[in-house]
């Protein structure tokens, strides 16, 4: 169970987000993908139907191992699968021996040492296909490296992969991971187009004095128009008020509205020019919730980024970004991890992706 301040803010909202897509006659609606837990496995697919399945490590052990499968959508979408094991002071060469339900599987293979604490075994397409077939009849995969044995539960793996087949339209085709059939791979639907967003770069962040002045003026305005907008603000973080000029004649103001042991929540408002009477919540496409956790605006990139931790070690939560188009903030990236099981943020599931082109 994940804990920590602000957990309720981390749920992915499925509200429609208006994005400009290159080559389209008009803007089209894009939604983030979804994820689902299947016992000891987690699967997710993004907005262009690229999907990932990952085993959830046992939280009670310090020896972390997990399998990860990734597959893009479309008839030619190829499977990529890897096994990651953690340790300390790892040095090549390292050999990994596999077993399914304690029966040796294949021959020991050389692992790549990604860093002194991470070793990774990347399977060839043929080896991945063979292992997937063998896994269907097993309950666990064991991997032994440098005298340590790692156990990866396979409970839920078949259901997770079947779910991916369904999301990508592969059921009953020769390209399915689980439920193969006679239909040709060419019958698998093509991947949706990747959204292309034009982000408007802005001038540099206002200095501290200007930001504090705008923050103070905004709070006075909120006392009149929205007194419950930032009710957890106790004044202790007011030196952290920030403000930026936005392309299109707007000013963005961020004021801290709450904090916990490892999260700071910031509320964002926009005004037109310097007119505080025009103050309005920034719409992040989430039911008028204008707050983001551990966030900041990068004016050169025209993007707002955030990293919301569901607990202090940062192994679960949500991270993403919103691009400023000159008229609105729209989602440009989203990664989530609902299970707090020691997985680093680079392994989180991608639920939304886009190509962002910065316009000066």
Span 162-176, pLDDT tens digits: 999 999 999 999 999
Residue pair 23/9 in contact by the 8 Å Cβ criterion: no
For the ranges 69-78, 101-110, 225-234, the lowest mean pLDDT is seen at: 225-234
Q: Confidence band (pLDDT; 50, 70, 90) for 259? A: confident
> Which of 94, 73, 72, 74 shows the shortest CA–CA distance to 84?
94
Residue 348 vs residues 122, 199, 344: alpha-carbon distances, Å: 18, 25, 7
pLDDT above 80: residue 233: no
Residue 13 vs residues 9, 30, 114, 252, 306: alpha-carbon distances, Å: 10, 12, 34, 23, 15
Q: Confidence band (pLDDT; 50, 70, 90) for 92? A: confident
pLDDT above 60: residue 213: yes
Span 192-209, average pLDDT: 96
pLDDT digits (tens, 9 = 90+) for 9-25: 444 333 334 333 333 32
In whole angstroms, what is the distance from residue 208 CA to residue 227 CA?
Answer: 25
- Could you give all domains of the chain from N- to C-terminal order, each with its CATH number? 49-187 (2.60.40.1880), 196-359 (no CATH)
Supply the DSSP string of 26-72, one letter for each residue: S-EEE---EEEEETTEEEEE-TT--EEEEEPPPTT-SS-EEEEEEE-
Q: Average per-residue pLDDT in the chain?
A: 89
Residue 253 vs residues 214, 237, 238: alpha-carbon distances, Å: 7, 14, 12
Q: What is the pTM of this model?
A: 0.90
Q: Confidence band (pLDDT; 50, 70, 90) for 232? A: low
């Amino acid at each position: 169970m994940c804990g920590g301040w602000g957990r309720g803010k981390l749920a992915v909202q499925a509200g429609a987000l208006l994005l400009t897509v290159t080559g389209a006659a008009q803007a089209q609606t894009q939604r983030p993908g979804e994820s689902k837990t299947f016992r000891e496995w987690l699967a997710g697919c993004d907005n262009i139907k690229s999907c990932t399945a990952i085993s959830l490590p046992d939280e009670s052990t310090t020896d972390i191992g997990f399998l990860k499968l990734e597959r893009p959508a479309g008839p030619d979408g190829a499977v990529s699968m890897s096994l990651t094991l953690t340790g300390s002071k790892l040095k090549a060469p390292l050999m990994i021996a596999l077993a399914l339900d304690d029966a040796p599987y294949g021959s020991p293979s050389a692992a790549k040492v990604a860093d002194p604490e991470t070793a990774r075994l990347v399977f060839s397409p043929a080896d991945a296909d063979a292992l997937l077939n063998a896994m269907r009849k097993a309950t666990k995969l064991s991997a032994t490296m440098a005298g340590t044995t790692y156990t990866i539960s396979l409970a839920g793996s078949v259901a997770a992969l079947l779910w991916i087949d369904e999301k990508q339209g592969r059921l009953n085709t020769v390209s399915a991971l689980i439920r193969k059939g006679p239909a040709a791979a060419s019958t698998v639907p093509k991947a949706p187009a990747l959204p292309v967003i034009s982000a408007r770069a802005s001038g540099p962040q206002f200095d501290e004095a200007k930001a504090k002045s705008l923050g103070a003026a905004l709070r006075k305005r909120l006392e009149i128009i929205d007194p419950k907008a930032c009710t957890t603000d106790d004044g202790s973080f007011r030196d952290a008020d920030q403000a930026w000029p936005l392309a299109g004649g707007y000013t963005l103001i961020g004021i801290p509205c709450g904090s916990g042991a490892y999260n700071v929540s910031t509320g964002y408002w926009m005004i037109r020019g310097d007119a505080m009477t025009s103050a309005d919540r920034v719409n992040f496409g989430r039911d008028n919730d204008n707050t983001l956790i551990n966030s900041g605006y990068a004016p050169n990139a025209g993007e707002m980024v955030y990293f919301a931790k569901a607990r202090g070690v940062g192994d679960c939560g949500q991270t993403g970004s919103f691009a400023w188009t000159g008229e609105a903030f729209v989602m440009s990236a989203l990664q989530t991890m609902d299970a707090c099981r020691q997985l680093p943020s680079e392994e989180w599931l991608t639920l939304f992706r886009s190509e962002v082109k910065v316009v000066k």
